Amino acid sequence: MRQVVVLAILMFACRIRSLRGLDRISDDARFRDNWCTLSRAVTATVVTSKQMTNVLGALDREEVSALRPWLIKELLDAKRLPDAFVQGHLMVGCDGTGIFSRPVFHCDQCLTQQHQDGTTTYLHLMLEAKILTHSGLALSVLSEPLLNPADGRYDKQDCESKAFKRLAPHLREVFPRQRLAFLLDSLYANGPTFHLLERLRAKFIANFKPGSIPTLYEEALLLARLDPDQSHTVLSGTQAHPIVSVYSWVNGLQYDGLSLNFVMCQETVDQKTTTFTWLTNFPVTRDTVVEIAAAGRLRWKIENEGFNEQKTGYELEHFCGCSNLNVMLSLYLVLQIAHLFMQLLAHGDLIDPVSALTHLAFLLCEALRNAPLPESLFEHDAPRFNIHFRKASP
């Protein structure tokens, strides 16, 4: 099993673009030896890509999914993610992404989208929870697939809101004592989501747009204008390109039996002003408003460092086009593990900085094909060693 999982991780980490390409590379004697050394499963024979997908198809994907929380806990226990917190709470960004889209039927649990011309698109979507850091990491911790019941009995299709109601309690089960802060899109700026997170003893910072809760948005803007003392200005940038950030906030907004707080940041760069607004259950003061706003703006990293990178660099949608649903979802989960490792490698001091993760994947693949891994490093009684995060450039 270790050999199978490590092969799948290496396939994504090295950005091998197809199963056929994986077989060509894994037939290389040096790559094969290094793969067996990494997996600590040195055997007389090794699996092919077809055998790998057969095993993943028969495996309970919850077993694969459970690997990521274990990896994240290892990093947290070793205090390797010091910038993944806001007000002492671990930052978790949540967002949905598409992993499959075809105009032909795929499986009984596909979501469907009807078009005006009478055609149908069959979809598979995933709700993702990632640990976000100010240094740019977006580390997957849990995934919740959006699936219709296989028996076809449902009033409404599965959706991102329903999936979040399953994912958030699961995350609390995985981290029962960890203080959590959910960084959310404006889709989640609603009473049911806020009540759920209150019950889970979690904090949240949700993007807040005029159309989310219109009356509450107007009330928050009015109260912010009426109390200019609840304002804080920060100057940054350079003398040639100054950045002026004006923060304002309102505490104690009443909505659906909840007491919510409003944060607004108006940022002016080169005479162009952009406004950001959030709802949160963090208490907001002059001392905390900048930190809370910075955390709220981190949510976009789940799209840039997460989904966009995986779709363009890891061929996410190509590998998720297989006919077996369990293989598709298991490959998706393994991809998240590979992406986690490659982000840590890119931010670590083991190698020189690289300009892009694509180049790093090429270097890794070439190293595995040409440089023998010393087996002594992977023996159980081998001395322990650390790979540190590279210091940020000034």
290: CB partners within 8 A, 6+ apart:
232, 234, 245, 247
For residue 205, CA distances in Å to 83, 213, 264, 279, 386 come to 17, 15, 12, 6, 34
Rounded to the nearest 10°, the torsion over CA 161, 165, 166, 171 is 120
The pLDDT score that the predictor gives to residue 358 is: 85
Task: Return the structure tokens found at 151.
Answer: 């028996």
Q: How confident is the prediction along the chain (394 residues), in pLDDT tens digits per residue?
A: 889 999 999 999 999 988 888 999 998 999 999 998 888 887 777 889 899 999 998 999 899 999 999 999 999 999 999 999 999 999 999 999 888 888 988 889 999 999 999 999 998 999 999 999 998 899 999 999 999 998 888 889 999 999 999 999 999 999 999 999 999 999 999 999 999 999 999 999 999 998 889 999 999 999 998 888 899 999 998 888 899 999 999 999 999 999 999 999 999 998 899 999 999 999 999 999 999 999 999 988 776 555 556 555 555 555 555 778 899 899 999 999 999 999 999 888 888 888 778 889 999 999 999 999 888 877 778 887 777 887 766 5
Crossing angle for the helix pair 19-26 and 29-39, to the nearest 10 degrees: 100
Sign of the torsion angle spanned by Cα atoms 172, 291, 76, 143: positive
CA 166 to CA 147: how far, in whole Å? 12
Helix (H, G, I), strand (E, B) or coil at 244: strand
CA 125 to CA 146: how far, in whole Å? 5
Q: Residue 360 corresponds to which amino acid?
A: L
Of 69, 65, 64, which is closest to residue 174 (Cα–Cα)? 69
Pairing of strands 138-146, 180-184: unpaired
Helix (H, G, I), strand (E, B) or coil at 125: strand
CA 348 to CA 345: how far, in whole Å? 5
Residue ranges per domain, the chain? 1-58+349-394, 59-347
The pLDDT score that the predictor gives to residue 41 is: 80
Q: How many CA atoms lie within 13 A of 6 on its CB side?
A: 19
- Superfamily for the 59-347 domain: Transposase Inhibitor Protein From Tn5; Chain A, domain 1 (3.90.350.10)
The pLDDT score that the predictor gives to residue 386 is: 76
The pLDDT score that the predictor gives to residue 278 is: 97
Q: Which residues pair with 254 in a beta bridge?
A: 259
